[in-house]
């Protein structure tokens, strides 16, 4: 088992100490949180700042396909797009990763050979997470064996909502161990946790258990990444680093489709966690259609004309 940060050894000593710690975290006022997120959303990012933000956002995308209909062809096309997002402009940065199911990792790995683009794989009975731990671990090992650089696990929301925090904690630790040197993103499915207090608790639980990233959602439920839940998670990683010196990344996923939205998220990062997180190593967007919108905006900045969907690739 990986070691827990020593600062939290007493926190994870028992069910009750863990519960007391999580329930002792400061509460979240929903209206205030959403108000702050909305007010940061009014920042006006223009010209040079916008160009910077668009390239940064592209470099932070985990270009994702998580469909039952995924095929090797689809994954290879996605990988090609990740490496070369805009065939008309080779200065466009690559995305951070492609994100696929474990059975597509090998295909993706092959397609990305020689590039800097990572392969991330969802695992642990994604998206519901409803399987026994050995099954989840097998899922992770499968992905790792196929060459995944990053594992996006889902937590057991049922256990979390039932108050069995220790079970969630131990699962994350087990997955972390099975992931080896791959970076671990822990998905909370914030839409199912439902309250901001729960999202803050889950964030700390994940970080204490050794998450390298905390991630909002699977993209498979009604409510996915929002400015407010991402802001809250950014506050959590900021506070965790302040307390422990350990930096944890954040990945909003699902529902971010426009450049405007992506830039708003980057403003949240900039003004909450700070510039240490303005890097694809520490912040990611789980998205697919976002990339094309960023590319069209990028073309607009370069040419002064508004672009159209025929000028970006559909993959």
Partner 1 sequence: MSDGRLSVFKTYKLYVGGKFPRSESGRVYEVTDPKGKWLANVPLSSRKDARDAVVAARKAFGGWSGATAYNRGQILYRIAEMLEGRKDQFVREVAQSEGLSKSKAADVVDAAIDRWVWYAGWTDKIAQVVGGANPVAGPFFNLSTPEPTGVVTVVAPQESSFLGLVSVVAPVIAAGNTVVVVASERAPLPALSLGEVLATSDLPGGVVNVLSGRTGEIAAPLAAHQDVNGIDLTGADEVLAKELEVAAADNLKRVFRPQAVDFSADPGTHRLTAFLETKTVWHPTGSLGASGSAY
Partner 2 sequence: MASVFEYAPAPESRSIVDIAPSYGLFIDGEFSEAADGKVFKTVSPSSEEVLAEVARAGAEDVDRAVKAARKAFGKWSALPGAERAKYLFRIARIIQERSRELAVLETLDNGKPIKETRDADLPLVAAHFFYYAGWADKLDHAGYGAAPRPLGVAGQVIPWNFPLLMLAWKIAPALATGNTVVLKPAETTPLSALFFADICRQAGLPNGVVNILPGYGDTGAALVEHPDVNKVAFTGSTAVGKAIARQVAGTKKKVTLELGGKGANIVFDDAPIDQAVEGIVNGIFFNQGQVCCAGSRLLVQESIQDELLDSLKRRLSTLRLGDPLDKNTDIGAINSEEQLSRITTLVEAGEAEGAERWSPACELPASGYWFAPTLFTNVTQAHTIARDEIFGPVLSVLTFRTPDEAVAKANNSQYGLSAGIWTEKGSRILAVANKLRAGVVWANTFNKFDPTSPFGGYKESGFGREGGRHGLEAYLDV
How many other CB atoms are found less than 10 A from the CB of residue 130? 12
Q: Work out which of 4, 17, 34, 110 binds partner 1, going by CB under 8 A.
A: 34
Is residue 152 annotated as a catalytic residue, yes or no? yes
Size of the site for partner 2 (CB under 8 A): 29
DSSP 4: P
DSSP output for 18-74: HHHHHHTSPP--HHHHHHHHHHHTT----HHHHHHHHHHHHHTEEEE---TT--HHH
Q: How far apart are the first and last CA of the chain?
A: 40
Subset of 210-249 contacting partner 1 (CB under 8 A): 222-223, 226, 228-229
Subset of 250-279 contacting partner 2 (CB under 8 A): 266-267, 270-271, 275, 278
Reference 112, options 154, 149, 157, 164; nearest CA is: 149
272 binds partner 1 (CB under 8 A): no
241 binds partner 2 (CB under 8 A): no
Residues 99 and 253 sit within 8 Å (Cβ to Cβ): no
Two structure tokens written together for 179: 């992931």
Query: Catalytic residue among 152, 197, 212, 293, which?
Result: 152
CA dist., res. 294 & res. 289, Å (int): 9
244 binds partner 2 (CB under 8 A): no
Q: Work out which of 95, 179, 190, 259 binds partner 1, going by CB under 8 A.
A: 190
Report the DSSP beta bridge partners of residue 154. 187
Two structure tokens written together for 290: 């976002």
CB 232 to partner 2: min, Å: 8
Is residue 251 annotated as a catalytic residue, yes or no? yes
CB 58 to partner 2: min, Å: 15
Is residue 185 annotated as a catalytic residue, yes or no? no
CB 118 to partner 1: min, Å: 29
Q: Is the dihedral of CA 194, 143, 131, 67 positive or negative?
A: positive
- Of the candidate spans 6-14, 28-36, 148-156, 276-284, the one that interacts with partner 1 by CB under 8 A turns out to be 28-36
Binding residues for partner 2, per CB under 8 A?
A: 26-29, 31-33, 35-36, 42-50, 52-53, 56, 232, 235, 266-267, 270-271, 275, 278
Active site residues: 152, 215, 251
């Amino acid at each position: 088992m990986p070691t827990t940060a020593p600062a939290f050894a007493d926190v994870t000593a028992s069910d009750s100490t863990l519960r007391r710690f999580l329930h002792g975290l400061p509460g979240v006022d929903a209206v205030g949180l959403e108000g702050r997120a909305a007010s940061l959303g009014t920042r006006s990012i223009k010209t040079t700042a916008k160009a910077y933000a668009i390239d940064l956002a592209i470099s932070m995308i985990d270009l994702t396909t998580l469909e039952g209909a995924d095929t090797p062809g689809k994954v290879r096309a996605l990988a090609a797009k990740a490496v070369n997002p805009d065939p008309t402009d080779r200065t466009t940065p690559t995305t951070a990763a492609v994100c696929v199911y474990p059975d597509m990792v090998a295909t993706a790995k092959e397609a990305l050979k020689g590039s800097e683009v990572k392969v991330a794989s969802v695992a642990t009975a994604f998206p519901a997470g409803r399987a026994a731990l050995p099954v989840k671990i097998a899922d992770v090992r499968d992905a790792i064996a196929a060459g995944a650089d990053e594992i996006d696990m889902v937590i057991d929301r049922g256990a979390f909502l039932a108050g069995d925090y220790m079970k969630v904690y131990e699962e994350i630790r087990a997955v972390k161990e099975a992931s080896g040197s791959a970076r671990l993103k822990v998905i909370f499915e914030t839409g199912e946790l439902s309250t901001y207090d729960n999202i803050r608790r889950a964030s700390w639980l994940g970080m204490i258990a050794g998450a390298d990233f905390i991630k909002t959602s699977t993209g498979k439920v009604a409510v996915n990444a929002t400015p407010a839940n991402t802001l809250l998670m950014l506050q959590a990683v900021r506070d965790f680093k302040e307390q422990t010196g350990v930096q944890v990344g954040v990945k909003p996923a699902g529902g971010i489709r426009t450049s405007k939205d992506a830039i708003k998220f980057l403003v949240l990062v900039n003004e909450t966690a700070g510039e240490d997180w303005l890097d694809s190593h520490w912040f990611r967007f789980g998205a697919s259609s976002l990339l094309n919108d960023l590319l069209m905006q990028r073309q607009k900045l370069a040419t002064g004309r508004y672009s159209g969907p025929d000028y970006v690739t559909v993959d």
